[in-house]
Amino acid sequence: MKSPLPVPAISSRKLKTYLSRFSHTKILVLGDLILDQYIWGTVNRVSPEAPVPVVHVNSESYRMGGAANVYQNIATLGGQVELCGVIGDDLYGKQILNEVRNLSKPRSGIFVDKSRPTIKKTRVIAHNQQIVRYDVEQRDQVSTSIERKIIRHIGSRLPDLSCIVISDYAKGLISEEMMYHIQKQATIYGVLIIVDPKVEHMHYYAGVTAITPNYLEAKQGAGFLSTQNIPIQQIGSVLQEDLQCQAVIVTRGEEGMSIFEQNGCSWAIPAVARQVYDVTGAGDTVVSTLALALSAKASITDAAVLANQAAGIVVGMVGTATVTRPQLQQVFTHDIS
């Protein structure tokens, strides 16, 4: 069914201006840091020990995941970005630190918690097929002492920032207390807060600048059951009413996104992908581009149009990929508006 919401008008010239400002933005990404590990191999036999395949490992690769992937997306799009979160005192934590150092100046926003492992998701893949995924994580809330260090760190960085992105996977970092302090301080400095939310924490985010749930998260966050078929307008109105954010931006996969502004305006932006190869990580691209565009003084609808374009590019790339600013710029190069 076609969405009856209006599509916002855009000016390519304005969008290009925002893109040119991306390099001046200063964004802090706070959230659960994850390392994605991929083990590539081949299978020639079944194990004599149990009815499972034996994987002969050929290679291994790593990618930053969770909040660390949002960080990488913003860096690739040309923003000035720093990362804040927790790692364990282990090899995989060091791997995340190394990746961060390769992308930007080292900052002291990544704290080591000796009592927990670095979150790692391992996928074993043979002949282009995932055989198993295993996760190492400890989801208990981080200690009060680490929570305080993070709140203090963000407080010290705020005067320098245009935006904070909260990438919440509910793996022990983001708490109601932390959100309260961050919002209170961010308001003083006029720093934007954009949240990629987790349903069970939805009420933490009341009053932030924007949240970007996908359809299912929005539906459950608004109090409906995942099995209920609820019109997007109803979901958006309930969430907006509950949270009073400048914008609730619901990403809807191949249907693009719907926007519900605090001022009562609602919009629909159709998806733009020409070919779709891999939709993983598209949500991270959306929140990253929104943070950059809003920091560059774009309106909510202009920022969402850019984010939708960036997501359209990323789903056309193989593997959890990141979009570059020239790639995004290219989209508007041939337009004459």
Ligand X SMILES: Nc1ncnc2c1ncn2[C@@H]1O[C@H](COP(=O)(O)OP(=O)(O)OP(=O)(O)O)[C@@H](O)[C@H]1O
Residues that bind ligand X (CB under 6 A): 214, 251-254, 256-257, 271, 273, 276, 279-284, 286, 308, 311-312, 315
Q: Smaller CB distance to Mg ion: residue 113 or 284?
A: 284
Q: Smaller CB distance to ligand X: residue 161 or 273?
A: 273
CA 187 – CA 27 distance, rounded (Å) = 15
CA 210 – CA 205 distance, rounded (Å) = 9
Window 244-283: contact mask with Mg ion (x via CB under 5 A)? ---------------------------------------x
Tokens of 68: 């660390």
Q: Which of 168, 196, 284, 302 is flagged as catalytic?
A: 284
Q: Find which of ligand X, Mg ion, none residue 240 binds, CB within 5 to 8 Å per kind.
A: none
For the bound state, the minimum distance from the C-beta of residue 195 to Mg ion, rounded and expressed in Å, comes to: 11
Q: Find which of Mg ion, ligand X, none residue 280 binds, CB within 5 to 8 Å per kind.
A: ligand X
65 touches Mg ion (CB under 5 A): no
Residue 284 falls in the annotated catalytic set:
yes
Chain Cα centroid distance, residue 232? 21
Q: Find which of Mg ion, ligand X, none residue 282 binds, CB within 5 to 8 Å per kind.
A: ligand X
For the bound state, the minimum distance from the C-beta of residue 314 to ligand X, rounded and expressed in Å, comes to: 7
H-only helix segments in the chain = 12-21, 67-76, 91-103, 144-157, 176-189, 215-221, 232-243, 282-295, 300-314, 325-333
Task: Count Cβ neighbours within 10 Å for each residue of 48-74 and write b for 16 or more, e otherwise.
Answer: eeeeebebeeeeeebbbbbbbbbbbbb
Window 281-320: contact mask with Mg ion (x via CB under 5 A)? --x-------------------------------------
CB 214 within 8 A of CB 283: yes
* Residue 318 backbone dihedrals phi, psi, to 5 degrees: -85, 135
For the bound state, the minimum distance from the C-beta of residue 11 to ligand X, rounded and expressed in Å, comes to: 20
Quickly count: other Cβ atoms within 10 Å of residue 173's Cβ.
28
Tokens of 281: 């990580």
Coil/strand/helix, residue 42:
strand
Q: Find which of ligand X, Mg ion, none residue 201 binds, CB within 5 to 8 Å per kind.
A: none
For the bound state, the minimum distance from the C-beta of residue 143 to ligand X, rounded and expressed in Å, comes to: 28
For the bound state, the minimum distance from the C-beta of residue 5 to Mg ion, rounded and expressed in Å, comes to: 21
Tokens of 135: 């996760």
Total of chain residues touching Mg ion, rule CB under 5 A: 1
Q: Smaller CB distance to Mg ion: residue 70 or 146?
A: 70
- The residue number with the shortest CB distance to Mg ion is 283
Residues in the chain: 337
Distances (CA, A) of 296 to 7, 104, 299, 302: 22, 20, 9, 11
Residue 66, strand partner residues? 33
Quickly count: other Cβ atoms within 10 Å of residue 334's Cβ.
7
Q: Find which of Mg ion, ligand X, none residue 142 binds, CB within 5 to 8 Å per kind.
A: none
197 touches Mg ion (CB under 5 A): no
Q: Smaller CB distance to ligand X: residue 180 or 277?
A: 277
Q: Find which of ligand X, Mg ion, none residue 253 binds, CB within 5 to 8 Å per kind.
A: ligand X
**Active-site annotation, residues:** 284
The footprint of Mg ion (CB under 5 A) covers 283
